[in-house]
Amino acid sequence: MRKILIISFSILLFNNANAQKKNITLEDIFKKGVFRSNGVYGLVSMNDGLHYSTSDGDEKDAYILRYEYAKESKPDTLVKQSQLIAEGKTISIDDYSFSPDENKMLISSGTEKIYRHSTRQNYYVYDRKTKSITPISSGEKQMYASFSPDGKKVGFVRGNNIFIKDLTSGKETQVTTDGSQNNIINGATDWVHEEEFSFSVAYFWSPDSKKIAYYKFDESNVKEFSFNEFSGQLYPSEYKFKYPKAGEDNSILTIHTYDLSSATDKLMDIGKETNQYIPRIKWTKDANTLSLVRLNRHQNKLDLLFNNATTGESKIVYSESSDTYIDIHEGQGDYVNFTNDKKYFIIMSEKDGFNHLYLYDLNGKLVNQITKGNWDVVSYKGVDEKGETIFYTASETTATEKDIYSIKIDGTSKKKISTGKGTNTPEFSNGMKYYINNFSDANTPPVIAIFNEQGKQIRVLENNEVLKKRMLDYRLGKKEMMMFKTTDGVELNAWMLKPADFDPSKKYPVFLTFYGGPGNNAVNNSFGGAGYFWHQIIAEKGYIVMCVDNRGTMYRGKAFKDCTYKQLGKFEVADQIETAKYLGTLPYVDKSRIGTFGWSFGGYLSSLCITKGADYFKMAIAVAPVTNWRYYDNIYTERFMQLPQENASGYDDNSPINFVDKLKGKYLLIAGSGDDNVHYQNTMEMVTALVKANKQFDLFVYPDKNHSISGGNTTLHLYTKMTNYILDNL
């Protein structure tokens, strides 16, 4: 009897403690920033590899500080915003970089975002010795300013042309003259290359500062896409840009080198085929040899070219083919990395079925495969050539985690140097002797700390203790990493968040969130930021929140990722239906109340779930969804689907626009009318199909908002609408 009383008293204490905790509000997350985590910003390793710089402060007085890696000491203040007075005004510090000798700094200010990666701003050169600041040019804002390797010049792009500013004489030279809006682009990328090959700077200084290599995009034959801009105007204005949809003409691109001393331009030989891509160019350690990565339009044949920068002549050094496609992965480092001894290059490839590192000599002869195993390298971080050691991150233990490894360049002595079980994202110093690591797991905010190359922690820079303590005051559930097997025997990674007061004897509805597309995992043992706290609100309202990475996602080998080739949506929706079936077997799940949510590809998948999977889902929210792959850009879509002229059934068999007649549950479509990526056209065509099928649905449009649907009060409004929709319909 006494034991029962103790247990009852313990439960009472727990319930009382839980009852005293606060509930999260949407205003806390999206307006007040109560749960915003701290970071270390503007991180740059200094030349000596012993110091690093960061940016700090606020909009009124930002500053750049220099610290030592090895020990905690008082930082040096390199520059304060209050010191930067040019043209009679204080210059804000948006971003910065150093000249090669670190005596000067390039400071950007007044940044305007264009698309996902591209920006324009005003650039200034700050001389650390004289404490003077000088604009690099006058008039229109510039793009992508960079110091030459000798530090004597600055290159930049303006009006689709490349310019060079001589810092000694002050002379400005215009390298190209044919740039024009929606026609010719020099030194920057067109929309589709920026979005799908993840780069926007398209000019590169040679190592000896004597040449510039650059892209020229001829967009003249690319069809325009346009949309109205409404805000604050009596008559809406029309925004037009070149956007090649699946099966349509691309820009014709050429690669050039410009010789500064002779002011001559040389066309590089990239082959006679114009219907192809050059997703990467990079100077080798030889100042007259330029490397180019060439992909055919299907993106299943890759060549690495070495071009003579003076004559333009090229030779193929390395080639690779695939039955599906070849990834030029975003965030994995450069595709090719050259060693300082001018003897070798390192590449990443999935040719053995998993993403690994390979060492080749400059004639293209394989020296050795550096990493091996049934797991994927995530990113190449660099090489310590003195120690002949390469550093990289990999998902070796599970696709949901990322660890840091070192390995000898000959493939021996592999060592895991990170210890935290979760997601590690390191930034290494010059020379690779130190790294600053950002670590988190599913329930722990980021911890940022300095380590040496052996993985020994030196000190913590930011542990987010304030946020961790604040979280203790709120009623939070624990996100659980898990795996389940489908009826076809496929194991899928997932996480599940149950209400803090979860009772296994009750039946709970499930809110299923996902992305599901190639190249992006949503099931990660890492902290989810604002999304984590939004999911806590949903859970606190009495829902289980779950996320599943279906087939086609990353870090489980090429076969798992590429099985969706030529049939996007087929296996993805099948796996989410399998998720609903699995949930139906759990005693604490109400299988009649399963809803879905996704954004972009996730919106596409959510739309398929409520149509093709109508028997298993009660509700779906689709934000900025693709509704027919014929409406999306060609580099992304054709990589996975080939051209619509070649694979019509692949495009049509899994486009939700063709399955609206199956809709049974509640369906909310959300879009931004100014989305340059997944066009509002997708939503309008879905609406047309739903009306034609006489299906009721809900629609909300954010005027002039792009793919992120953010800015001002927009995010709070969006998440309030979605939360209310879930509570009302699931």
Structure tokens at 665: 């549950």
Q: What is the pLDDT of residue 331?
A: 56
Q: What is the pLDDT of residue 523?
A: 98
Distance of CA 58 to the CA centre of its chain: 26
Q: Is the distance from CB of 202 to CB of 174 less than 8 angstroms?
A: no
Structure tokens at 373: 């195993």
Q: What is the pLDDT of residue 2?
A: 45
Q: What is the pLDDT of residue 330?
A: 61
d(CA 257, CA 259): 7
Q: Write the DSSP symbol of residue 701.
A: E
Structure tokens at 274: 């114009």
Q: Is the distance from CB of 550 to CB of 515 less than 8 angstroms?
A: no
Residues of the chain with pLDDT under 50: 1-14
Distance of CA 710 to the CA centre of its chain: 17
How many other C-beta atoms are found inside a 10 Å radius of the C-beta of residue 163?
21
Q: Write the DSSP symbol of residue 603.
A: H
d(CA 436, CA 542): 39
DSSP-assigned beta bridge partners for residue 336: 347
Does pTM surpass 0.75?
yes
Which amino acid would we find at residue 91?
I
- Classify residue 581 as exposed, middle or buried by CB count within 10 Å of its CB (0-12, 13-18, 19+): middle
* Structure-token match 């204080």, residue found: 90
> 3-class SS at 426?
strand
> Domain residue spans in the chain?
477-729
H or E stretch at 593: strand 589-599
d(CA 108, CA 143): 10
Q: Write the DSSP symbol of residue 142.
A: B
Structure tokens at 256: 């050039």
Which of 544, 546, 545, 550 lies closest to 486, judged by CA? 550
d(CA 205, CA 202): 10
Query: Angle 601-611/570-584 helices, nearest 10 degrees?
Result: 60
H or E stretch at 319: strand 314-321
| Structural Rg of the chain based on CA atoms | 27
d(CA 281, CA 309): 12
Q: What is the pLDDT of residue 44?
A: 95
d(CA 71, CA 458): 7
Structure tokens at 17: 């403690």
DSSP-assigned beta bridge partners for residue 98: 105
- Cα–Cα distances (Å) from 92 to 106, 329, 669, in that order, read 12, 33, 39
477-729: CATH number: 3.40.50.1820
DSSP 350-403: -TTSS-EEEEEETTS-EEEE---SSSEEEEEEEEETTTTEEEEEEE-S-TT-BE
Residues 6+ away with beta carbon under 8 Å from 275: 250, 297
DSSP-assigned beta bridge partners for residue 406: 391, 415
